[in-house]
C-alpha cells in the first residue's frame, strides 16, 4: 500500500503559499479519487481509499515543514509502509514553474521537509514527485519566496498544474513510474 505524502505548513496563512504545493496536490488527488482526508493521527491528516484499485493512504503532516519526518515515520510504521512505497510530493525551486519531476531516491536537494524525512526514515530510498515553483527574482530571499503566495500569473495556471500532478500520480500508481515520467516530465510540464 502506497503512502502518499504532500508536504506543506499548517495554518491558514500558508495555505496558498508556494511551499504548500505538496498539500495542494494531495488535496486535488483526494478530490478526484473521492478520498476524504479527515482522520487525525500522528500530527497528520490522513485519508485511506483506492485509486484505480490501488489501495493508498493520503497524508498531510500538520507539523511544520522542517519537522515533517517524524510524522511521516510514525505513519509509515503504523501502516507498515516500505520505503519504496513512500511517495513524497513537494515544491522545488530548481524546476521552472509547473514542471514535474520524478525521482526514485536521492538527497534532499536543499528542501527542509525532504531532509527531515530522510533523517527520520534513515535513508532516502523513497519516491519524490517534485513540482516546480521557479526561482525568486534577484534580491528576493528564497525563504520569503517559498512562503509567499503564488503570483497572479501563476495562480491562473495552478489549477491545471495541480490536476496534471494528480493525474501523473494516478498513472504512476497504475502503470508505473516510467510511464508517468514519459508522459508528464517533459520540458514545460506538458503531457503527450
Reported as a single tens digit per residue, the pLDDT across 21-61 is 999 999 999 999 999 999 999 999 999 999 988 999 999 99
- In contact, 41 and 50? CB cutoff 8 Å: no
3-state helix, strand, coil in the chain (%, to 5): 45, 20, 30
CA distance 107 to 115: 8
Q: What is the pLDDT of residues 136-151, one digit of tens each?
A: 989 889 989 999 999 9
Q: What is the mean pLDDT of the chain?
A: 92
pLDDT 10s digits, 165-185: 999 999 999 999 999 999 998
- Average pLDDT, integer, range 129-142: 92
For residues 66 and 77, the answer to whether their CB atoms sit within 8 Å is no
pLDDT category of residue 93 using cuts at 50, 70 and 90: very high
> What domains are defined for the chain?
2-189 (3.40.50.1470)
What pLDDT is stored for residue 112 in this prediction? 87
pLDDT at 188 over 60: no
Q: What pTM did the predictor assign?
A: 0.92
125 contacts 86 by C-beta, under 8 angstroms:
no
Q: Which residues are annotated as catalytic?
A: 19
More confident residue, 190 or 110: 110
Rounded to an integer, what distance in angstroms lies between the CA atom of residue 74 and that of residue 147? Answer: 26
Amino acid at each position: 500500500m502506497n503512502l502518499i505524502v504532500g508536504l506543506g505548513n499548517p495554518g491558514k496563512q500558508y495555505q496558498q503559499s508556494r511551499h504548500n504545493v505538496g498539500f495542494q496536490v494531495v488535496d486535488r488527488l483526494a478530490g478526484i479519487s473521492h478520498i476524504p482526508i479527515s482522520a487525525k493521527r500522528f500530527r497528520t491528516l490522513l485519508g485511506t481509499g483506492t485509486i484505480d484499485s490501488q489501495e493508498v493512504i493520503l497524508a498531510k503532516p500538520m507539523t511544520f515543514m522542517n519537522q515533517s519526518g517524524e510524522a511521516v515515520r510514525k505513519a509509515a510504521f503504523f501502516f507498515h509502509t516500505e520505503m519504496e512505497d513512500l511517495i513524497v510530493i513537494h515544491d522545488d525551486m530548481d524546476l521552472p514553474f509547473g514542471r514535474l519531476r520524478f525521482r526514485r531516491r536521492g538527497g534532499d536537494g536543499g528542501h527542509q521537509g525532504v531532509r527531515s524525512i530522510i533523517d527520520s526514515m534513515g535513508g532516502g530510498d523513497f519516491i519524490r514527485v517534485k513540482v516546480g515553483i521557479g526561482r525568486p527574482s534577484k534580491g528576493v530571499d528564497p525563504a520569503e519566496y517559498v512562503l509567499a503566495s503564488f503570483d497572479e500569473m501563476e495562480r491562473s495556471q495552478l489549477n491545471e498544474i495541480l490536476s496534471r500532478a494528480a493525474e501523473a500520480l494516478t498513472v504512476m500508481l497504475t502503470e508505473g513510474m516510467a510511464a508517468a515520467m514519459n508522459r508528464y516530465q517533459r520540458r514545460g510540464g506538458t503531457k503527450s
